[in-house]
Structure 1
């Protein structure tokens, strides 16, 4: 599986879980297991606001493009994310997980 990320400025949260060829994105379960090799599923056919491009299976690899919200303190890795290749089962770590958060006193100012 290859997860491509497209950054957008937003305060929304994003949580992705992977199990086999299934993704759960902010609670929406999506099973791409039936997608055969060489097939393309248009983004409009996937009932998920976070999927912003066609889902494909190329040479056995599932390729999914997901919009990733980046907050006001987003770092370079979040704004210019690398693709996530073969993520392990469970919660998918996103670049935004590692952005520095401002100290509470900075927020208050």
Structure 2
């Protein structure tokens, strides 16, 4: 049983035998895959304005997730600020 099927069951909306025979759960998974979502035209060129009024391009929500890519997205000042906050929050933890 896939996670989509488990989620549907948990929500009290299990897939019917007919839906399973038509591979509906598999189609939902395929539709929601990163490659598919990131290639939809609305996610390449669309944008929206959250309540703050700041325009956000939809493609900002899709990244490759490569190690170290944050260096291309965050300024040196922001990086230092995050490092300081992290050190402050974790300093009381005991590390072996």
Question: TM bucket by the smaller chain?
Answer: under 0.3
Q: Which entry has the higher C-alpha Rg, 1 or 2?
A: 2
Q: Which has the higher contact order (CA 8 A, sep 6+)?
A: 1
Give the TM-score taking structure 2 as reference length. Answer: 0.25
Choose between structure 1 and 2: higher helix proportion: 2
Choose between structure 1 and 2: higher strand proportion: 1
